[in-house]
Amino acid sequence: SSDLGLALLLPWVRFGALGGLLETVLAAFAAAAVGLLAGALLDDRFWAPFTGDGPPRSARTVLVGGLVAGVVLLLVAAGVGHSGVQLPALLFVPPVGFALGACQVAARRAGRPAGAAPVRWLVGLAVFGPLALTDPEEISILLATTRDVPYWVAVASGVGFAVAVLLAVGYGVLLARPRGHAPRRLVAASGAAVLLLTVGVVDVAAGQPGLYGERLLVVLREQADLSGIPAGTPGRAGRDARTAEVYRRLVATAERTQGGLRRDLSRLGLDPTPYYLVNAIETDGGPAVRAWLSGRPEVARVLVSQRLRPLPAPAPVSRGDQPAPTGPEWNLRMIGADRVWSELSVTGSGVVVGSSDSGVDGTHPALAAGFRGGDDSWYDPWNHTRSPADSGGHGTHTAGSAVGRDGIGVAPGAQWVGCVNLDRNLGSPAHYLDCLQFMLAPFPAGGDPFTDGRPARAPDVLTNSWGCPPVEGCDPGALRPATAALEAAGILVVAAAGNTGPDCGSIVDPPAPYADVLTVGAVNRDRVVAEFSSRGPVAGGVVKPDLVAPGEGIRSAMPGGGYATLDGTSMATPQVAGVVALMWSANPALVGDLARTRSILRDTAQPAGPADLSCGPVTASSGAGLVDAYAAVRAARR
């Protein structure tokens, strides 16, 4: 029984990866409990009606008894953990019933009862695989991706099913035949030892050995005081002076308040990483460390900072299958961006847009010429790439809608800088902070954000087509100090409302609900708010979204030089960032004047179609009209 259980564990060792130490231990206890339950249900009393002497009784034990046992195991598997565990277990655990029937026949021929031990070992080892070697949070978030965790779970499940069926047939043939004999204990023990060694070899040689537990984000009580920062002169000079002062205060506060905690974490070998945009520290540590940190007087709260488990093979790069546009796309014509280029001769030159997303394909024909360049225009805290790249495609698409050339971007004359805060469609509070810090004060590759930041090189407007939900570790206030600091620095943060509509109050994941963020919803070709677009109001009764923009059927760039059409508020958001780039290009004195910029955008927005009956109409008067690039740029010049 243990050798069969180890065989069922093999595909999970090959295609999965362990989490932290505590969750692995808990998975082992849970698997043992499931095994005990199965053993109690499928003990000798269960098999008594099916067992007996002679070939007919042996066949009945294997076939009929195995079938009934499989139904019992199906019910047991249905109660195992998260759906990412249940579904695989439902596939490959029930066939084990036939092998258990064969074990019963072999035990009777040896003149002893089989007992519950074979069931406990076999079922416990079988369910340990998905329980320990799959992260259920990644399953729930990454369903839309290709060849990611759900794909490899399906592969492991399929291989596990094949192994279960083959071993069930093998046991049935070898142990249930008329002249068969029960294997000697030495042979069985040798087989189990070989399989255990095989599991270890597969893990080290072909799997992903090691523990990949989550990290913790420790948010300190004291945050930097950014009040009283002078506005300075209009335009970029004043903006740069404000950004430098904000950076100085943030770093000084972090250095003054983090020292003791950082030393303690370093002494414990917990690898602390400090942050200043939010006064916080990311560190290793499980529940015990979290409890200790939560009790320290300087700590406000401790969040879980999600960490991805490795895949057995890299996910393929997402590529587009559509040709390049032959002229301005329909969405650009709807908001009047093409008229801004042709009639007002404004394309966004002199303005820099910052993109935090899955990355950007810096070689794409529509984006290559717009990259700002230098040693401080690209940062990848996930994979540490040195030049702009993107495998997911989402970031290339959004960047293209903001600044892409060849008819896809609102501000094709603007430059862009990029940062990777999503890997395989998953983020964490710490990596979102990594990119927002980089946007406030870019630094060269390998540099220290605390000492090597260059606030004078900060981009002007940020496009953020992401949100940080609780499953990634964020609470409602996790990123609030970050957006407040960017606001104080004169850097406009544009963020997607989210795709959890049409319910009211569905704008919930930071940073979209924050008052200092320009939140964007989506409309379709008929100027009607898209069904998926999240609605307000948010906490405190603040009207959200601030604006809407085209977000259904948006064609833009994809990695590898191609193009694709995507839907979402993610697609609408960069268009509003592009409109801001056009406004500031037309009137550089507006750079950093966020209040005036927001006012122009809202005052010039056009009415959009109704959202739904419960949320009421979304109109310009409510602050959530359809952005009008042409009207906004003309107003900016006045």
Which residues form the catalytic set?
357, 394, 570
Q: How far apart are CA 422 and CA 419, in angstroms?
A: 9
Q: Which of 572, 498, 584 is nearest to 534 (CA)?
A: 498
Start-to-end CA distance of the chain, whole Å, equals 81
Q: How far apart are CA 157 and CA 159, in angstroms?
A: 5
Tell me how crowded residue 443 is: count the other CB atoms within 10 A of its CB: 19
Identity at 395, one-letter amino acid code: G
Q: Scan for tokens 């009607």, then name that residue.
A: 528
Rg (CA), the chain: 29
Give the phi and the psi of residue 541 in degrees, each rounded to 5. 80, 15
Residue pair 589/234 in contact by the 8 Å Cβ criterion:
yes
Q: Which of 398, 451, 481, 456 is nearest to 591 (CA)?
A: 456
CA angle, corner 632, sides to 627 and 633, nearest 5?
A: 135
Half-sphere exposure of 442 (CA within 13 A, CB side): 27
List Cβ neighbours of 432 (8 Å cut-off, separation of 6 or more).
356, 421, 466, 468, 474, 479, 482
**Inter-CA distances, 146 with 152, 313, 530, 560, Å:** 10, 12, 25, 17
Token output for 343:
């009639």
Omega of the bond leading into 550 within 30 degrees of 0 (cis): no
List Cβ neighbours of 53 (8 Å cut-off, separation of 6 or more).
108
Beta bridge partner(s), residue 447: none
Q: Which of 583, 566, 277 is nearest to 421 (CA)?
A: 277
Q: How far apart are CA 106 and CA 113, in angstroms?
A: 9
Token output for 188:
């069985």
Q: How far apart are CA 485 and CA 343, in angstroms?
A: 37
